Amino acid sequence: MELPKSCDTFVVLPPLTKHGVVFGKNSDRPQGEIQEVVYIPSSESADPVKCTYIEVESAGATKAVILSKPNWMWGAEMGANECGVAIGNEAVWTNDNDGDHDPHVKRLLGMDLVRLGLERSSSATEGLEVITRLLEKYGQGGPCSKNDSGFAYHNSFLIADPTTAWVLETSGKHWAAIQVTSGYRNISNVLTITTKIDKKSDGLEDYAKSKGLWDGQGEFNFCEAFSGEKKPGDARYTAGEQLLAKFTASNNFKETDMFGILRDTQSEICRSCEAPFPTQGSQVSVLSASRPSVHWFTATPDPSKSVFKPFVFTKNATISKHTQSPTPEEPHTLYSLHSEAIKKGNQVQELLRNMEAECVEELETVIGNVGEDLSEFDDLLKDCVETEVKFYR
C-alpha cells in the first residue's frame, strides 16, 4: 500500500475566531474503508479495556464521546467529548523503528490513543497527559489497515479545548509537544516541532544521541532528529497554513470557514472518492466555554460532496443508526446512499448544501440564546442524518 497523500488537522483560536476554538480534520483512509460516526455514553467500569489489538487498564469513569472511526477498529480517527475536548491524529513516518518502536508490532494504534484521550480527559492538557502516559507504558503500533498488514506508522496529534490546543508528535515511545494559545496551527503527515518544545518525554535528547540521531551540538531539533526519509505532506502542510492565513484574515473565523478549508480540492486536503486514499470522513468542532460546543460531522466521504451535520452533547443525546455500520463488513446506510448519489451525479447535493447553510444559521441563533436545558438538542444529529437519508431516497 502506498503512503497516504492526505490527512490534515487544523485549529484556530482567539483572537481570530468568532466563538471559542475551531477544530477541524479530514480523515483520509484506504480506498473502500467505511468510516462511521458513533456516540458512546459515559460509563464506569473496573474491567480492562480491549482496544484494537491489546488491553489497557481501566480508567474507572469515562466521558461521553462522539467519534468518527473506521468501522473495523476500536479506536477513532477523530472525535470530541462532553467536556469540549476534540482530538485528531495523523500518520507520521520516523527514522526510529526498531524494537519497542517498531510500528508493525501490535500495540496501541494512534486511533486507540485518540479515543482513550477523549474518554479519559476533561481538558486538552489532560488529554495530552493521558495519551503520553499510555504511549510510554504500552507503545504504539500495529496494522492500520484491515486489509494490509504492512501499513503501519507512528502518530502526531492535535488536541484542543475551548481555551488552548496542543500539538503532540511522536516517534515510538518518545514524544514532543507544543502548546498553542492563540492564532492557528495545522498538522499533516510530517513532523513539524523543531526547537520550541513545551513538554517532552524524559531523556528525549539523550535517547536521540544514543541512537545517533543528534550529535548533541546546538539546539535540539525534534523534527530534524526523528524525521524519516519519507516526508509525505510537506506541500499539503504548507497549503494548509496558507488556507488558514486566508480564512482567518477577517478575525471572524467560524465553522463555515473550516468547512471551506476541509473542502479544498486544489490542495488535495480534500480527496475524492476515487482517490487511493479518499477523505472518508470530516469533523469540525466549535469549542466554547460560554455556550454549548457544537460538533459537525459528514459521516460520508469527500466533504466537497458531503454535508456537515451538527451534534451537541446533552444528558439524553441520541444519534441515528444510519451512521453506524451493522457489522465491520457492512457500510452504514448513509454511506451507501451517499455513494450511490455520487455515482449517479445526483443533484441532491445542492439541496443538501442549502440545508447545511440553513442549519448553521438556525443553530447559531439558538445556541447563542439557549439556557441550561439542552434537551431540544437531544436528537439534533439524528434528525439531520435522517433528513439527508430521505433526500437520497
Give catalytic residues, as residue numbers.
7
DSSP type of residue 304: G
Here the cell at position 247 is 480564512
Query: What distance in Å separates the CA atoms of residue 145 and residue 160, rounded to the nearest whole number?
Result: 26
H or E element in which residue 311 lies: strand 309-311
The residue assigned the cell 515511545 is 173
Here the cell at position 230 is 519519507
In total, the chain counts a number of residues equal to: 393
Query: What distance in Å separates the CA atoms of residue 372 and residue 365, rounded to the nearest whole number?
Result: 16
Here the cell at position 180 is 498553542
Here the cell at position 372 is 441550561
Report the alpha-carbon angle 29-226-133, nearest 5. 75
267 near 243, Cβ under 8 Å? yes
* Three-state DSSP state, 122: coil
Query: What distance in Å separates the CA atoms of residue 75 and residue 5, rounded to the nearest whole number?
Result: 21
Nearest to 233 by CA among 267, 204, 262, 201: 267
Nearest to 312 by CA among 387, 382, 388: 382
Write the CA distances from 47 to 57, 59, 119, 370, integer angstroms.
7, 9, 15, 38
